[in-house]
Amino acid sequence: MNSGTIKFLGAATVLVAIGAVVASKMRTSSTAASSADTPVLPVLQERVNDVKSVVIESSEGTVTFARSSDGWGLVEKNGYGANGTKVRDLILAMRDARILEEKTSNQARFKKLGLEAPDAEGSSSKRVTLKDDGGGTIAALLVGNQRTARPSANQAPNPNVTASQQHYLHAGGDAPAVLATGDLRINVSPVTWLEQQFLDISRDRVQAARVTSPDGTVVEAARASMDDTELVPLGAPDGMQPKELNGTRPFLDALSRLRFDDVADASTIAWDEHEVTVAEFFTEHGLRAKVETVEIPNDDATLDEEGKPLPGQSKVWARFTFDLEGAAGTPMALAPPAEPEPAPEGEGEEAATPPAPEPDPGPTAAEQAKELSELQAKTSGWAFALPTWKSSAFRMKPDAVFEPIPEPELPTELQPAADLPGTILDDVPPPTEDGK
């Protein structure tokens, strides 16, 4: 065989090898592209609307949502309303999850993908189970690690899928572990699934406030006119005066965009009448919010010498009641006297008096009744753990709004002579024995 023939055969071999590699990659790419159209949970394509409950299991516990005519409720919080959008998004993310790449059917390797059982030691996985009205399982999915590495060579390119939208999943049984699309980052803290903002009464509506502490001390503040930007502290204790920096500002913002850190059935909280502080907020047109608060130490709290939990080791729980006092019941008696208007310029009785502004008619009776009904529906029967920065407004003490009246300083010429250095008394010799 001559050298030309050898070169020809060598070149042919290389071409065949290249062709095989290209064909293999084309088949792999085709298979991956086909796989990317395969749902992880095919059953959900037809039964997604049959889901009536969602159970999330993790090493931190179980979170359960139940669907009723009123929407989704969190079972572990006595059915308190969950954020329906978040629950729906989770169900749809499971339905829309598509396989990017099959990984392994060897369950001994699942731990590396974060797919060990949720109750296993050190597990970070979450198992989500969707059930129907009768409690039967429609689908279950074990969610493992989020994909962080670069796509492998045989993964179909998908520019619309980011790393945060890729997770290792296992649909149970003999199904292999897969890498799949879908934003399945799942928060296992129950409170994060709730509508945490539950009240929003604007500061512009608050006309007066009163806080009564368990020891009987009372802090009251009001504004003479709703045009005033601040409340005025009332009833200063003897020897005290309102602080120069108004301490009543928290009253105005107390009910505005109010959120909770936790929620519970109000009957499960110990409302000891000797420990309860009562705050009342009055609006211009007769709405009254009564807020009872009590501080409950955490189970593992450390107590000080007075038996009080150390800072950060307790929760302030609040329960709310609302009513309409009516125009006669608004706390106008709390309001400070209005400053008299200066006399108009002019000659005596001939001066023109400016017309009085038209009074604000306020909401109609129907609007008031509707608001009252909505507020009662949101809060009745529930206790809310308030954020620390908000709770102070509901437990105001006199020293938060009043300060001691400073002692007046006497002018130098009126100070006692014995207290003044360098006076003539310093040059007087002491008396002798005979008194001279």
Tell me the pLDDT of the chain averaged across its residues: 83
* Residue 68 to residue 288: CA distance in whole angstroms: 32
Asked if residue 3 belongs to a domain, the reply is: no
The answer on pLDDT for 16 being more than 50 is: no
**According to the model, what pLDDT value does residue 417 have?**
57
Predicted local confidence at residue 28, as pLDDT? 44
> Is residue 418, in this structure, part of any structural domain at all?
no
Q: Does 27 have pLDDT greater than 70? A: no
- Mean pLDDT for 7-12 is 48
Rounded Cα gap, residues 165 and 174, in angstroms:
24
Inform me whether the pLDDT recorded for 72 exceeds 80: yes
Average pLDDT over residues 163-170: 83
Please state the rounded mean pLDDT for residues 184-189: 94
Residue 128 shares a structural domain with residue 41: yes
Mean pLDDT for the stretch of residues 95-103: 95
Domain identity same for 218 and 260? yes
Last residue of a domain, one of 193, 216, 240: 193
Confirm whether 268 is domain-assigned.
Answer: yes
- Percent of residues, the chain, with pLDDT higher than 90: 60
Question: CB count, 10 Å around CB of 123?
Answer: 18
**345, part of any domain:** no
What are 220's strand-pairing partners?
210, 234
The verdict on residue 13 lying in a domain is no
pLDDT higher for 260 or 304? 260
Asked if residue 134 and residue 66 are part of one domain, the reply reads yes
Residues 149 and 110: beta-carbon distance below 8 Å: no
Answer yes or no: do 326 and 186 share one domain: no
Tokens of 13: 């071999």
Q: State whether 173 and 236 are in the same domain.
A: no
Average pLDDT value for residue range 395-410: 89
Reference 296, options 281, 322, 320, 277; nearest CA is 277
If one compares 359 and 436, the residue with the highest pLDDT of the two is 359
Pairwise CA distance, residues 346 & 360, whole Å? 30
What does the pLDDT read at residue 350?
Answer: 55
Please report which helix (H) or strand (E) contains residue 166, including its range.
strand 166-170
Is residue 372, in this structure, part of any structural domain at all? yes
Per-residue burial over 137-167, b = 16 or more CB atoms within 10 Å of its CB, e = otherwise: ebbbbbbbeebeeebeeebbebeebeeebbb
Output the pLDDT for position 401: 92
**How many CB atoms sit inside 10 A of residue 192's CB?**
11
**pLDDT recorded at residue 329:** 46
Q: Find the domain containing 315 and state its range.
A: 197-301+308-337+365-401
Q: Which residue has the higher pLDDT, 247 or 306?
A: 247
Is the domain of 188 the same as that of 202? no
Residues 203 and 313 occupy one common structural domain: yes
Q: Give the pLDDT of residue 361.
A: 74
- The count of structural domains within the chain is 2
Q: How far, in Å, CA of 40 to CA of 179, rounded? A: 10
User: 140, 129 in Cβ contact below 8 A?
Assistant: yes
Question: Is 406 or 384 the better-scoring residue by pLDDT?
Answer: 384
Does residue 418 have a pLDDT over 80? Answer: no
Among residues 140, 172, 193, the one where a domain terminates is: 193
Do 330 and 235 share a structural domain? yes
- pLDDT of 21: 45
Rounded Cα distance between 182 and 141, Å, is 12
Contact call for residues 90 and 54 (beta carbons, < 8 A):
yes
pLDDT of residue 9: 46
Per-residue pLDDT band for 287 (boundaries 50, 70, 90) equals: very high
Query: Which distant-in-sequence residues (6+ apart) come within 8 Å of 323 by Cβ?
Result: 287, 288, 290, 372
Q: Residue 409's pLDDT is what?
A: 76
Same domain, 207 and 318: yes
Least confident of 33-47, 79-93, 268-282, 323-337: 323-337
409 lies in a domain? no
Q: Residues near 194 by Cβ (< 8 Å), separated by ≥ 6?
A: 74, 77, 80, 81, 82, 83, 263
Q: Are residues 247 and 166 in the same domain?
A: no
pLDDT of residue 381: 96
- Let me know if residue 426 belongs to a domain: no
Do 202 and 220 fall within a single domain?
Answer: yes
Residues 255 and 373 in one domain: yes
